[in-house]
Structure 1
Amino acid sequence: MTRSLRELSDRLEIQDLLVDYSYAVDKRDWDALDRIFTPDASIDFRATGGACGDLATIKAFLVKALAHFTVTQHLVAASKIELDGDAATGRTMCHNPMVFDGGRVLFVGLWYVDRFVRTATGWRIADRVQELAYFHNDPRPR
């Protein structure tokens, strides 16, 4: 299959957006999320015990939730991107080791299911939903 330069560029820009999200969260650069999501984005992290709502709600949740961890790494891979003009959908694997203050490591495996839109300033995530794959070393009572 031959792909156009625009399609290749769109795919690379969306891949960069996914990586930018990982770096922003792992570096706790909450303002960077404004350049990753649309202002009216809907974000649902309930599959991993998180919040659901707009970007401000998610930023507040992340600040509070990640305060328990000294290090996190959001490792994203195997994105399946479907382009449709100025819109796209995607499903991306994420392996997320998270180190507690005491050194214990929680491993979270999930998929990000996204809807992307092209804006005047580039591609942005308009909707994001997590799908849980696994928890390992989950400290929460069962």
Structure 2
Amino acid sequence: MSDIRTIADRFEIEALRGEFTDAGMMRDYDRLASLFTQDGVLRIPDINVEYIGPEEIRAGGERLQSLWDYFVQTTHPGTIQLEGDTAAGRAYIAEFGRMRDGSSHLNYAVYHDRYQRTPDGWKFSERVYEIKYLDTTPLAGSAPHASRSDKA
């Protein structure tokens, strides 16, 4: 594991996972879609979601984010198993937010990933979101924009 190529691959894959979280939280759907291969798949089985290819992933990400009043996702490093120009791994997720319908969600989850080296760097070929814990108790706090609009 100490050769430079292996270290660089692991670093780039970890950066890819961070870019995914950042793109989602910043609602940058073009960037989110660009992180997947042309036949890449994003699956969320608990809500029966499967998007294939960057166009579907972009539109689906925008559609899902439109349901949230606010949303925070934190990615924690997991495993990466390199296999030449492909790799598999897991990333651990903590997220919470309030939906526009007033419901709240606190999730702990795992992304089960497959990665592909491309001419543009590492990309997701598959990302599957598995919820390990879900708490729908109303969140006690609020997003700053919500509290500012309440005072206006």
TM range (shorter): 0.7 to 0.9
Aligned to 1:134: 133
Aligned to 1:66: 65
Aligned to 2:111: 112
- The answer on 1:45 being equivalent to 2:48 is no
Give the conservation status (yes or no) of the 8 Å contact 1:51–1:57. Answer: no
Cα separation, 2, equivalents of 1:138 and 1:20: 29
Cα separation, 2, equivalents of 1:7 and 1:127: 21
Runs of 4+ in 1 over 4 A off after TM superposition: 101-104
Give the conservation status (yes or no) of the 8 Å contact 2:14–2:77. Answer: no
Aligned to 2:15: 16
Per-residue CA distance 1:28-70 (angstroms, 9 max, x = gap): 10000233111110221122x1511313333323222221323
Computing the radius of gyration over CA atoms, which structure comes out larger, 1 or 2? 2
AA at the equivalent of 1:61: G
Cα separation, 2, equivalents of 1:76 and 1:102: 25
The percent of aligned pairs where both chains have the same amino acid is: 26
Shift of 1:91: 1.0
Give the conservation status (yes or no) of the 8 Å contact 1:117–1:124. Answer: yes
Aligned to 1:125: 124
Aligned to 1:30: 29
Give the conservation status (yes or no) of the 8 Å contact 1:26–1:71. Answer: no
- Does the C-alpha gap of structure 1 residues 73 and 138 become closer, same or farther in structure 2, counting only changes over 3 Å? same
Give the conservation status (yes or no) of the 8 Å contact 1:112–1:131. Answer: yes
Aligned to 1:80: 79
Shift of 1:138: 6.3
Per-residue CA distance 1:51-98 (angstroms, 9 max, x = gap): 113133333232222213232122111310000111100011111111
Cα separation, 2, equivalents of 1:97 and 1:128: 19
Structure 2 unaligned residues grouped into runs of 5+: 139-152
What secondary structure does 1:56 align onto? Answer: helix
Give the conservation status (yes or no) of the 8 Å contact 1:50–1:61. Answer: no
What secondary structure does 2:27 align onto? Answer: coil
What secondary structure does 1:130 align onto? Answer: strand
